[in-house]
C-alpha cells in the first residue's frame, strides 16, 4: 500500500504514482470535485432541454447538461438533481427527470443481474467479435471519437452513433466497443455504459438502432460539409436491421427473489466503532452517507492498483478522481493510497457506504455500512424494459 499526499499537483501525482495504471489521454476540460459539481448545479438551466438534448453541433445548441460525471460518482446524488429542477418548465422537467430515472434504472438493473450485464441480455447480437468498429475516414465518426478521446464525454446522441456504428453496421463485438468507451468516459459506469450499449445494439430490446447520414445532417450538419466522403458517403443508407433472435432467458430479469440484497442495507449497520471513513468510486460527494454520519473521522480513498492496471482507464478519469479528492481535502482530513481497498478495509476499522455493484461483496470485514442513496428503492418486479421497471416503482 503506497500513500501519497493529495494536496500535490495532480500532474506530478500522475507521473510519480500512476505509471502503468492508465492509458494516457491527457486531462478533460470537465473538472472533478464537489465545488465544480455545485457550481454546475447552481447554474443549471434546463429550459428547452426536451427539444435540445439530442443536439450535437454547433456546441452552443446542445441542451445536454454535462452533469453525468458528477451524477455517476454521487458527487451529485440523483435526488439532489431531481429536486434541483423543481421550478423548471413542466415539459422540460418531465423529460429531464425521465433521464434521471434511466440512470436509476441502469443502477437497479446492474445491482440485480451483476456481471450478467456483460453478455447479450435478451437478444443475440454480435458480442465478442474482435476488431475496430470505428475505422477512420468519415468526418462524423472521427469527430465523435476525437471528442471522446479529448474530453471524455459525449452527448447521448453521439454515444448511440458510436455504439450502432461499431456493432450494427460494422458487426464488431459490442463488448469491446463498450470497453473502449468506458476507458475514456468521465461518467463511465458499468451500469449505464452496458445498458447504453445493449439498448442501442439491440441485445437489450431486440431492435437495433440504425445510424446513418440522416442523423448527422439533422444533429450536426456542419460535419457532412467538411467530410472527404461527402459525395461517397458509406452511411448514406441505414444499415439493414431486423428483429434479433432471443437469447437464453435470464430469470432475474422477470423477478428478483431477494430485492433486499439488491438494495443493500436500508439503515446503517454497525459491527464495531469505525475509526475512518473509506470512500469508494461509487460515492465521492460530500453527502456520502458514511462521511455525513461520521463528521469527525478522517477519510481514506484507496486507488485499486490491480483494477487500474487491468482496466487501463484514460488519465482523464484519474485526473477527475484526484481533483475530486483534492477538493474534498479542503474540508476533510483525506488520506489517499494506491493498493487494495479490500485489504485496507480488513486492516482498518472503516465506515463505508454500500455500493450496488458486484465487487462490493468483497468487503466482508467492515465496521459500519451505510445505505446507498437510491432515488427509488429496487423492487422485485420485472426489469426487462425501462417501462416495465418504472411501472413497479413505489412513489
Ligand atoms: C452507448 C451509450 C453509453 C453510455 N454510457 C454511459 C455511462 O457510462 N455513464 C453514464 O452516466 N451514462 C451513459 N450513457 C447515458 C447517457 O448518454 C449519458 O448519461 C448522458 O449523455 C450524459 O450527459 P448529460 O449529463 O449531459 O445528460 P443529460 O441529458 O443532461 O441527462 C441528465 C442525467 O440523466 C442521466 N441520463 C441521461 N440519459 C441517460 C441514459 N440514456 N441512461 C442512463 N442515464 C441517463 C445521466 O445521469 C445524466 O447526467 C450512455 C448512453 C449510451 C447510448
Average pLDDT over residues 358-368: 97
Which residue shows C-alpha cell 455500493?
355
pLDDT band at 16 (very low <50, low <70, confident <90, very high): very high
Q: Check pLDDT > 80 for residue 395.
A: no
For residue 163, the ligand 1 atom closest to its alpha carbon is: 1
Residues in contact with ligand 1 (CB, 6 Å cut-off): 53, 64-68, 71-72, 99-100, 102-103, 106, 155-156, 159-160, 163, 181, 185, 187-189, 192-193, 196-197, 200
Average pLDDT over residues 331-359: 98
Average pLDDT over residues 169-178: 98
**How many angstroms separate the alpha carbon of residue 318 from the centre of ligand 1?**
20
Phi, psi dihedral angles at 153 (to 5 degrees): -155, 145
User: Which residue CA neighbors atom 17 of ligand 1 most closely?
Assistant: 156
Q: Check pLDDT > 80 for residue 271.
A: yes
* Secondary structure (3-state) at 88: coil
- Quick one: which of 161, 158, 180, 176 has its CA closest to 25? 180
User: Which residue CA neighbors atom 48 of ligand 1 most closely?
Assistant: 68
The DSSP symbol for 297 reads S
Q: Check pLDDT > 80 for residue 328.
A: yes
Q: Check pLDDT > 70 for residue 35.
A: yes
Give me the pLDDT at residue 361, please: 97
**How many angstroms separate the alpha carbon of residue 106 from the centre of ligand 1?**
10
**How many angstroms separate the alpha carbon of residue 59 from the centre of ligand 1?**
17
User: Which residue CA neighbors atom 22 of ligand 1 most closely?
Assistant: 68
**How many angstroms separate the alpha carbon of residue 81 from the centre of ligand 1?**
14
Give me the pLDDT at residue 346, please: 97
Segment 83-100, tens digit of pLDDT: 999 999 999 999 999 999
Q: Check pLDDT > 70 for residue 51.
A: yes
CA angle 390, 391, 395 (to 5 degrees): 80
With b meaning 16 or more CB within 10 Å and e meaning fewer, what string describes 194-223?
Answer: bbbbbbbbbbbbbebbbbbbebbeebbeeb
**How many angstroms separate the alpha carbon of residue 297 from the centre of ligand 1?**
34
Phi, psi dihedral angles at 127 (to 5 degrees): -115, -50
Pocket test for ligand 1, best of 192, 316, 385 (most atoms within 8 A of CB): 192
Give me the pLDDT at residue 197, please: 98
For residue 78, the ligand 1 atom closest to its alpha carbon is: 47
Give me the pLDDT at residue 242, please: 87
Q: Check pLDDT > 70 for residue 118.
A: yes
CB 230 within 8 A of CB 224: yes
Give me the pLDDT at residue 394, please: 80
**How many angstroms separate the alpha carbon of residue 350 from the centre of ligand 1?**
32
**How many angstroms separate the alpha carbon of residue 251 from the centre of ligand 1?**
27
**How many angstroms separate the alpha carbon of residue 202 from the centre of ligand 1?**
17
Pocket test for ligand 1, best of 54, 68, 108 (most atoms within 8 A of CB): 68
**How many angstroms separate the alpha carbon of residue 72 from the centre of ligand 1?**
9
Q: Which residues 6+ apart lie within 8 Å of 35 measured at CB? A: 327
Average pLDDT over residues 239-248: 94
CA distance 226 to 230: 8
User: Which residue CA neighbors atom 12 of ligand 1 most closely?
Assistant: 192
Residue 194's Cβ-side half-sphere holds a number of Cα atoms within 13 Å equal to 22
Average pLDDT over residues 171-199: 98
Long-range pairs, 251-257, Cβ under 8 A, ≥24: 252/112, 252/113, 252/116, 253/113, 253/121, 253/122, 253/382, 253/383, 253/384, 254/382, 254/384, 255/380, 255/381, 255/382, 256/112, 256/378, 256/379, 256/380, 256/381, 256/383, 257/380
Q: Check pLDDT > 80 for residue 293.
A: yes
CA distance 363 to 304: 13
Average pLDDT over residues 364-375: 97
Q: What is the mean pLDDT of the chain?
A: 98
- Could you tell me how far CA 48 lies from the centroid of its own chain? 24
C-alpha torsion sign, points 20, 21, 27, 33: negative
Average pLDDT over residues 361-385: 97
Set of cell numbers at residue 11: 500532474
- Quick one: which of 90, 91, 76, 74 has its CA closest to 43? 76
**How many angstroms separate the alpha carbon of residue 156 from the centre of ligand 1?**
6
**How many angstroms separate the alpha carbon of residue 305 from the centre of ligand 1?**
27
In total, the chain counts a number of residues equal to 395
Residue 309's CB: how many other CB atoms inside 10 A?
Answer: 11
User: Which residue CA neighbors atom 29 of ligand 1 most closely?
Assistant: 64
Pocket test for ligand 1, best of 81, 99, 102, 157 (most atoms within 8 A of CB): 99
Give me the pLDDT at residue 371, please: 98
Average pLDDT over residues 118-133: 98
User: Which residue CA neighbors atom 40 of ligand 1 most closely?
Assistant: 102
Amino acid at each position: 500500500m503506497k500513500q501519497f499526499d493529495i494536496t500535490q499537483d495532480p500532474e506530478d501525482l500522475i507521473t510519480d504514482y500512476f505509471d502503468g495504471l492508465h492509458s494516457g489521454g491527457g486531462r478533460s476540460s470537465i473538472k472533478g470535485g464537489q465545488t465544480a459539481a455545485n457550481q454546475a448545479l447552481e447554474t443549471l438551466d434546463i429550459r428547452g432541454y426536451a427539444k435540445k438534448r439530442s443536439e450535437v453541433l454547433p456546441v452552443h445548441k446542445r441542451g445536454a447538461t454535462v452533469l453525468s460525471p458528477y451524477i455517476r460518482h454521487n458527487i451529485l446524488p440523483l435526488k439532489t438533481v431531481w429536486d434541483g429542477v423543481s421550478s423548471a418548465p413542466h415539459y422540460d422537467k418531465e423529460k429531464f427527470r425521465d433521464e434521471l430515472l434511466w440512470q436509476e434504472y441502469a443502477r437497479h438493473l446492474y445491482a440485480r443481474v451483476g456481471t450478467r450485464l456483460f453478455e447479450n441480455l435478451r437478444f443475440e447480437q454480435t458480442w465478442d467479435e474482435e476488431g475496430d468498429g470505428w475505422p477512420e475516414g468519415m468526418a462524423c465518426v472521427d469527430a465523435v471519437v476525437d471528442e471522446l478521446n479529448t474530453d471524455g464525454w459525449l452527448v447521448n446522441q453521439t454515444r448511440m452513433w458510436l455504439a450502432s456504428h461499431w456493432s450494427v453496421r460494422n458487426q464488431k463485438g459490442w463488448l469491446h466497443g463498450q470497453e473502449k468507451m468506458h476507458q475514456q468516459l468521465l461518467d463511465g459506469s458499468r451500469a449505464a455504459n452496458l445498458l447504453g450499449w445493449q439498448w442501442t445494439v439491440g441485445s437489450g430490446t431486440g431492435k437495433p438502432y440504425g445510424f446513418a447520414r440522416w442523423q448527422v445532417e439533422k444533429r450536426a450538419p456542419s460535419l457532412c460539409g467538411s467530410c472527404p466522403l461527402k459525395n461517397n458517403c458509406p452511411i448514406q443508407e441505414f444499415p439493414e436491421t431486423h428483429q434479433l433472435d432471443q437469447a437464453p432467458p435470464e430469470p432475474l430479469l422477470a423477478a428478483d427473489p431477494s430485492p433486499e440484497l439488491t438494495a443493500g442495507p436500508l439503515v446503517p449497520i454497525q459491527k464495531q466503532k469505525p475509526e475512518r471513513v473509506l470512500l469508494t468510486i461509487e460515492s465521492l460527494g460530500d453527502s456520502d452517507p458514511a462521511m455525513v454520519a461520521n463528521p469527525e473521522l478522517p477519510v481514506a480513498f484507496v486507488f485499486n492498483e490491480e483494477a487500474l492496471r487491468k482496466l487501463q482507464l484514460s488519465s482523464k478519469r484519474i485526473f477527475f478522481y484526484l481533483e475530486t479528492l483534492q477538493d474534498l481535502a479542503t474540508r476533510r482530513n483525506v488520506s489517499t493510497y494506491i493498493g487494495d481497498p479490500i485489504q485496507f478495509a480488513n486492516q482498518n476499522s472503516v465506515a463505508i457506504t454500500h455500493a450496488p455493484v458486484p465487487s462490493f461483496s468483497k468487503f466482508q470485514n467492515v465496521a459500519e455500512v451505510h445505505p446507498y442513496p437510491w432515488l427509488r428503492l429496487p423492487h422485485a418486479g420485472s426489469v426487462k424494459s425501462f417501462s416495465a421497471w418504472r411501472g413497479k416503482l413505489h412513489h
